[in-house]
Structure 1
Amino acid sequence: MSYKTIVAIIQTPKDSERLLHAVMPLAARLGSHVVGVHAEALPMPMTTGMGFPDADFITTASELNRKRAAELESHFSAQCADSAVASEWRAVESFSGDSAVAARAAARTADVVVASEADPKETTHSADLDALLYDTGRPVLLVPLAGMNAGPFGKVLVAWNGTREAARAAFDALPFIMEADETIVVTVDADDELSSSASQLAAALARHGAHVSVSALKASGRSVADVIAGQVAISGADLLVMGAYGHSRLREFLFGGVTRSVLERMPVATFMSR
């Protein structure tokens, strides 16, 4: 098993630099085909002071959009050529201009989607990562703002709560887990049933040749997200694997949750499935 088709979500020039620095070594190592997807927002009609459509504004906005898309495509193509990676570019125009939303159809035919962590300073230009997690059925590798290692991940931390989403993530991440020097299956405040399933997961992953251990953690008054982030730091893990949105998106938005907390404060490269 390997990731032979990768969809790369390229929302902004900043995204492009950080994302392709992560995607190119990965694609070259795995012999993957990379599909770059970028969306520009359709210019919204404006009116002049006389109430007539402002044709000059629409023309100027369209030209700026085409110029930005062309620059991103040029950078993408150059990076792929330098890394000897097979690739294709898909640029679209949409009302939202959201590259993640525009990439949903392409993502459904890929092995894995790679996107950048949302930058809190760029709220108007961030891609909708929830659209990828909820609407594609494919795993998503999120590159943190600080970037990620170019080589194989050395230590993988699997956050295990026994849910369908966690199971999807663990096995979707097998190519990374098999490359890693060490994988740690982590539970938080586990009962006997969850502890048993964590051991069974470790054994299943080990049958693929992975080097796996289990770590049972106590929350001790902390949130699960804080416990996981702390363990990532203590263990030196460079990839976090977890299920996404075990609760509804509305519930996580209203009351918080592990997925939402990790998306807002990503400790390392994070691999999510739902």
Structure 2
Amino acid sequence: MPFKTIVAIIQSKDDAERVLDCAIPLTTRFQGHLIGVHAEALPVAYTSAVGFPDTEFLQATAEVNKERAEALQADFRRRIRDANVSYEWRSLECFSGDSAHSGIASARCADLAIAAQRNPHADSTATADVDALLFESGRPVLIVPHAGPSLSSYRNVLIAWNGSREAARAAFDALPLLMEADHVEVFVIDPPEDAEYDSEASGEEIATALARHGVNINVAAETSNGRSIDQILQQRIAARGADLLVLGAYSHSWLRQLLFGGVTRTVLQSMPVATFMSR
């Protein structure tokens, strides 16, 4: 099933260009409908010296927020005007001002959400909280890297496979992209010793299932030998020249990954290629 409804999460000018560089071509490719979502923070009612709300501050803040939202909307409409696709823009408000939080309802009714990876050099409010989309929307999220090319063709795909529910969900959610890719690899780190006994974890069974959809696919495996999973994935991406990683989000304890790190956190912060994630 192609991606017919795509939600683009646009937090600021810092991420708008990269998200739209990916979202508009994908929407055109699947002849879909693109929804641009942006949220501004509700003005906080500071009090004046005499104890009353500072109405001048509230008014000034509201005007600045409105101008910023209108500027992003204008950029969105300018970019999509010549694409000849169906689209709409949703300007929202919330206490956090986070477009990912505000866009959850829109994403739940979409085939795919697209958001930018957090840029470590940008202001903390310049990129949206992608964790919220992954946990609350129930839909796949395509994360565009903050550095490197913003591709949308995705001809060489790497599926990170560990036999988990989340990995299976991501692989099948990504089928519209996998079916059009030139090559797809199911990559298993530290595969089971007896692949015949545990074909699910070895990647053979998921590769066979995807091949029935016409996906050009193979299975590869590698042992970690003390290296971190995200390091191995990045090395494999570089070796294969992959332009898309498909990954199950938080396939281990979310609390454990929050406290000690993990592949999902690396993807959200520094993975060098676009990453398609489901949970």
TM-score tier, shorter chain, comes to: over 0.9
In structure 1, C-alpha distance between the alignment counterparts of 2:218 and 2:41, rounded to whole Å = 47
**Partner in structure 2 of residue 123 of structure 1:** 124
- Once residues 215 and 125 of structure 2 are traced to their aligned partners in structure 1, the CA distance between those partners, rounded to angstroms, is 41
- 1:54-80 Cα distance to aligned partner (Å, 9 max, x none): 111110100010011011111111212
Structure 2 equivalent of residue 25 of structure 1? 25
1: CA distance between counterparts of 2:150 and 2:64? 34
Q: Is the 8 A contact 1:22 1:148 kept in 2?
A: no
Q: How does 1:132-211 map to 2 (within 5 A)?
A: 132-191=133-192, 192-193=194-195, 196-197=199-200, 198-211=203-216
Inter-partner Cα distance in structure 2 for 1:232 and 1:252: 22
Moved >3 Å (runs of 4+): 147-151
Q: Which amino acid aligns with 2:236?
A: Q
Give how far 1:51 is off.
Answer: 2.7
Q: Secondary structure at the match of 2:179?
A: helix
Partner Cα distance (1:15, 1:98) in 2: 13
Structure 1 counterpart of 2:185, one-letter code: I
Q: Which residue of 1 aligns with 2:75?
A: 75
CA distance in structure 2 between the aligned counterparts of 1:211 and 1:181, rounded to whole angstroms: 7
Residue deviations 1:77-101 (CA, integer Å, cap 9, x gap): 1212111121011111110000000
The one-letter amino acid of 2:256's match is: R
2:246 maps to: 241
Determine what percentage of the aligned residue pairs are the same residue: 52
Q: Distance in 1 between matches of 2:131 and 2:157?
A: 23
Q: Distance in 2 between matches of 1:29 and 1:195?
A: 38
Q: Which residue of 2 aligns with 1:224?
A: 229
Q: 1:16 maps to what in 2?
A: 16
Take 1:149 and 1:113, find their aligned partners in 2: how far apart are those partners? Answer: 15
- 1:126 deviation in Å? 2.5
What SS does the aligned partner of 1:66 have?
A: helix
- Say whether the 8 Å CA contact 2:14–2:127 is kept in structure 1: no
Moved more, 118-127 or 151-160: 118-127
Q: Structure 1 residues 212 and 116 mapped into 2: Cα distance closer, same or farther (>3 Å)?
A: same
User: What letter matches 2:144 in structure 1?
Assistant: V
CA distance in 2, matches of 1:181, 1:272: 20
Provide the C-alpha distance between the structure 2 equivalents of 1:113 and 1:84, rounded to a whole number of angstroms: 20
Aligned with 1:221: secondary structure? Answer: coil
1:273 is matched by which residue type in structure 2? Answer: S
Q: Cα deviation per residue 1:138-159 (whole Å; 9 max; x = unaligned)?
A: 0000000125454521100000
Equivalent-residue separation in structure 2 for 1:150 and 1:158 (angstroms):
17
- Check the 8 A contact 1:18/1:147 in 2, yes or no: no
Structure 1 counterpart of 2:188, one-letter code? T
Superposition deviation, residue 195 in structure 1: 6.2
Gaps of 5+ in 1: none
Once the two structures are superposed, residues 158-197 of structure 1 have per-residue CA deviations (whole angstroms, 9 ceiling, x without a partner) of 0000000000000000111111100000000110358622
Cα displacement string for residues 187-244 of structure 1 (whole angstroms, at most 9, x for unaligned residues): 0011035862201111111111111011111111101111111100111000000000
The answer as to whether partners of 1:187 and 1:195 remain within 8 angstroms in 2 is: no
Q: In 2, distance between residues paired with 1:150 and 1:168?
A: 23
Give a deviation string over 1:16-67, Cα, whole Å, max 9, x none.
1111111111111110100111000011111223333211111010001001
Partner of 1:2: 2
Measured on the aligned residues, the alpha-carbon RMSD in Å equals 1.4
1:244 counterpart letter in structure 2: A
Does 1:53 pair with 2:53? Answer: yes
CA distance in 2, matches of 1:219, 1:160: 14
- 1:266 alignment partner AA: M
